[in-house]
Amino acid sequence: MKENIFGRILSKIPYLRYAHLYRKNAAHRPGHFYSPVVDLHDLKSREEQIWAPKPLKGIDMNDQQQHALMTDLVEASKVIPFSSQPSQNGFRYYFDNKTYAHADGLVLFNILMKYKPKRVIEIGSGFSSSLMLDTNDKFLNNSIHFTFIEPNPSISLNRLLRQEDYKNTDVREQLVQQVDPQIFTTLQENDVLLIDNSHVSKTGSDVNYLMAEVLPILNKGVIVHIHDIFYPFEYPKEWLFAHKLNWNEIYTVHNFLLFNSAFEILFFSDYMQQQTKGQYADKAPLFFKDRPGSLWIRKVQ
């Protein structure tokens, strides 16, 4: 009884509450070699090695296909209608946001315009959702049926959806792990699955569920977007040192793609930005305004 009272007290005290909760749920301290939480001192000592440019062994970067999509981006940048700030033009999406800005927005717009999916399933929601809804409305005659799997739609999704959107929109207010995986088999060639999840692989996580249960059952030709994936499969240094993020999805995705002939890289946004700046910066400046984090892959068998 005393232990329970003491625990409740500790859980209310700033700073101490985190130490108490971590000790309650983990056998090892953060930074321990058995802990998934990194040791920043160790990372700092190996910073140059970890973030050095390196070739990606065991993955076909599909450069010819990626360069073809870069050419398409040039044309898409001429017709994309969105403004930098919220405006009165009727669009929900705008570029100057912190989660899905200029480069990622342009790539998503181009994918929708080029492949014209009939179905889109998005895990999570936000600015990517607003861009898709606007593009569907203005350019695609509302031909896309959307399914949003979002455990907290009241945060942003409910505000984005207009009454007329519900004619071709299905909102699943639940964790993706609770969704019957067969819903993903409704996606056909050129349909899109967008993944923006917890970014953490751990027991029972959405990352594990999607990699092991969902991606393998997708039909041939389905296009998959995974967000916050950077080249060469390392998170930006400031995300660890400044923001203290301990995400690990990027390594799961890297391992998933190794020697994987069932999926091809369609467009790796961060990789292409680094590789083509000299060639395309003047032709598609929107793509080079900020660092993108979208990886696009396609099921090919």
Residues of CATH 3.40.50.150 domain(s) within the chain?
43-299
Strand order in the sheet with 223-227: 169-172, 145-149, 119-123, 192-195, 223-227, 294-299, 263-268
The one-letter amino acid code at 38 reads V
User: Is a pLDDT exceeding 70 seen at residue 213?
Assistant: yes
Structure confidence at residue 11 (pLDDT): 66
Strand 223-227 relative to strand 294-299: parallel, antiparallel, unpaired? antiparallel
Instruction: Judge residue 232's burial from the number of C-beta atoms within 10 Å of its C-beta, 0-12 exposed, 13-18 middle, 19 or more buried.
Output: middle
Specify whether the CB–CB gap between 242 and 279 falls below 8 A. Answer: no
Mean pLDDT on 203-216: 97
Higher model confidence: residue 5 or residue 55?
Answer: 55
Q: At what angle do helices 102-115 and 63-79 cross, to 10 degrees?
A: 100
User: Is a pLDDT exceeding 60 seen at residue 209?
Assistant: yes
User: Is a pLDDT exceeding 90 seen at residue 88?
Assistant: no
Mean pLDDT on 87-109: 95
Mean pLDDT on 225-232: 98
Q: Is 43-299 a domain of CATH 3.40.50.150?
A: yes
pLDDT in tens, 110-142: 999 999 999 999 999 999 999 999 999 999 999
Structure confidence at residue 22 (pLDDT): 73
Specify whether the CB–CB gap between 228 and 295 falls below 8 A. Answer: no
The confidence band for 296, taking pLDDT boundaries of 50, 70 and 90, is very high
Structure confidence at residue 180 (pLDDT): 93
pTM (two decimals)? 0.93
